[in-house]
Structure 1
Amino acid sequence: MASDDLGLFGPDSVTWKVHAEPILLVGGLRSLYLQALHPRAMAGVAQNSSYQTDPWGRLLRTATYVATTVYGTTAEAQAAGRRLTALHSRLRARDPSTGTEFRIDEPDLLRWVHVTEVESFVDTARRAGLTLTDDEVDGYYTEQRRAAALVGLDPATVPGTAAEVAAYYAEVRSDLRMTREAAETALFLTAPPPPGTLSRPVRLGLSLGPTRWAYLGVAGTAFGLLPAWARRMYGTLGLPTTAFSAEVGVRALRLALGAVPRRYLEGPIYQAAMARAAAAQAARVAA
């Protein structure tokens, strides 16, 4: 029964431990900066996505998908995966260098998006202060192969440990570069228009209100958490001091989020998962 189904991971998983952290909003933003450095992946997004006209809607849809795969029932996660793969199967883009048309569900592109996402999540959570052993980090990557399978990837081809992720980044870096699309995307991620103002130009400077300044701080922290090689591709120096400042910032932000009542940070998918987990625990105790 769905009421007994704890989904692909469950309360004893590293995945639930990591994704219970609200600070992952910074990790999600970090992954987008990283993903933009892959020209073909960026072309697939730019040519098929509404991220510039509906950035907040796209962000909400992505967050809902991730929450469903992590905290939904097995059936809900599988259904979300089928919807996404069906959408991807219809989409095409043109290579910015050769003009050749390609499918955006090519395994290499799906793998890049998956790895940058999960690596950003676990790296951000750990650097923000979540205690994770090396074995737990490896366990997270291994568990997330189940999420990779939902989008059509062969789990055996997806990095399942921190060492495999590092090797994957070393292998794929020759395919990455700073392009005009990457620069435009990075600027957009750093200073997106607030909801309801997309018809007006974005102006940086004294016109920024407190909310925009706060978002700029979050975006700067996410960018500072990028690997040094990625920051260098964006034209910065990749200095250790940048990473240190970002870690100080993300730890402070995690502490600030910790002061917010949990009910304001928990979505309905998470709450339903906690209710199922509590019921399953009560049933075990009663037995």
Structure 2
Amino acid sequence: MAKGDIVARVRQLFNDQEKGERPVERSANALFASTSMIWRVHGDVTSMMVGGISALLLQMLHPAVLAGVWDHSNFRSDMLGRLRRTARFIALTTYGDRELANAAIERVRAVHSTVAGVLADATAYRADDPALLAWVHVSEATSFLNAWQHYGDRPLSLAQQDRYFAEFARVAIAVGADPVPTSRAAALDLIGSMRASLHADARTREVSRLVLEHRPDNPLAIPLYAMTAQAAVDLLPAWARRMHGLNRTPALLRPVVTGGALGLASTLRWAFSEPVA
């Protein structure tokens, strides 16, 4: 397949052409400099796909986050749309002109302000709860970075990882999250402190099934998605896999999944390495 075909297919995956969406252009007036760690990590398509699925599985373990998605979105009928919106928000706040980035942040805040409900145990929840937003953020930040460390072409040093968390924290704070970790150690501490609030039930596993068993429209993409999804499961902490009832790839097959994801990452970096006519 030619470079242009690969790029076109990836852009179609992340941009809703029916809505006239086009890829986010990298701006010299973005919230972050081109030398930032967040530009490096968020620019790798395969890492972001693997990390994005892993992050979503982590997020859904929080009952209030799950309820917000289950009760107030069409995720079950339009999973691709949900993933596209998340990917576009990440792209805009990382690479887009700061005016566009700030507008995207305000749109998210406005949507969150309208989402509220009551859990089965009568606990009230709001999507703009700073603690819930912190869980969503730390799930994404750790998952994106873990995926980069496994499949990116230049793993970050510990100091660079801390820079990544500090940079990404600016977006989380702007959205309204609190507390927001600014280092890897702080992120892991926050996840540890929130584990007692996590829970898995039939709805959690239904979301997991929808995500992991999704079948792209293009038959050629089905095995690639399945491999990406399994790579995402393998990245989850062992306790999170147990809660979802998921298994890590058996040791004998692990090199197949890892090698396939690395190969996909290499192919996509090649496809996007030069402007495509």
Shorter-chain TM-score above 0.5? yes
Q: Label 1:163 to 1:222 Cα distance change in 2 as closer, same or farther (>3 A).
A: same
- Which of the residues 202, 205, 208 maps onto 1:180? 202
The residue type paired with residue 27 of structure 1 is G
Q: How does 1:19-168 map to 2 (within 5 A)?
A: 19-23=42-46, 24-96=48-120, 98-129=121-152, 130-154=154-178, 157-168=179-190
The structure having more radius of gyration, on CA atoms, is: 1
Gapped runs of 5+ residues in structure 1?
196-207, 266-287
Q: Which residue of 2 aligns with 1:279?
A: none
Q: Which residue of 2 aligns with 1:255?
A: 266
Q: In the aligned structure 1, how far is the partner of 2:98 from the partner of 2:187?
A: 26
1:170-220 deviation line (CA, Å, top 9, x unaligned): 11111112211110001000112545xxxxxxxxxxxx9443232112111
Contact conserved, 1:48 with 1:91, CA < 8 A, in 2?
yes
1:238-282 deviation line (CA, Å, top 9, x unaligned): 6894995454443232123233244689xxxxxxxxxxxxxxxxx
Q: Secondary structure at the match of 1:93?
A: strand
Q: Label 1:228 to 1:243 Cα distance change in 2 as closer, same or farther (>3 A).
A: farther
Q: Label 1:239 to 1:59 Cα distance change in 2 as closer, same or farther (>3 A).
A: closer
Contact conserved, 1:93 with 1:101, CA < 8 A, in 2?
yes
Is 1:213 equivalent to 2:213 in the alignment?
Answer: no
Q: C-alpha displacement at 1:22, in angstroms?
A: 1.2
1:217-241 deviation line (CA, Å, top 9, x unaligned): 2111111111122112222466894
The residue type paired with residue 241 of structure 2 is R
Query: Percent of aligned pairs with the same residue?
Result: 34
- Which of the residues 209, 218, 237 maps onto 1:227? 237
Q: Label 1:153 to 1:53 Cα distance change in 2 as closer, same or farther (>3 A).
A: same
Q: In the aligned structure 2, how far is the partner of 1:148 from the partner of 1:178?
A: 25
Task: Report the TM-score, using the length of structure 1 for normalisation.
Answer: 0.78
Q: Label 1:107 to 1:4 Cα distance change in 2 as closer, same or farther (>3 A).
A: closer
Q: In the aligned structure 2, how far is the partner of 1:242 from the partner of 1:89?
A: 48
Q: In the aligned structure 2, how far is the partner of 1:102 from the partner of 1:259?
A: 45
Q: Label 1:27 to 1:4 Cα distance change in 2 as closer, same or farther (>3 A).
A: closer
Aligned residues: 248
Q: Label 1:217 to 1:237 Cα distance change in 2 as closer, same or farther (>3 A).
A: closer
Q: Label 1:211 to 1:66 Cα distance change in 2 as closer, same or farther (>3 A).
A: same
The Cα RMSD (Å) is 2.5
The residue type paired with residue 234 of structure 2 is G
Q: Secondary structure at the match of 2:271?
A: coil
Q: Label 1:25 to 1:101 Cα distance change in 2 as closer, same or farther (>3 A).
A: same
Q: In the aligned structure 1, how far is the partner of 2:101 from the partner of 2:40?
A: 18
Q: How does 1:9-20 map to 2 (within 5 A)?
A: 9-20=32-43
Q: Secondary structure at the match of 1:52?
A: coil
Q: Secondary structure at the match of 1:7?
A: coil
Contact conserved, 1:142 with 1:160, CA < 8 A, in 2?
yes
Q: Secondary structure at the match of 2:50?
A: helix
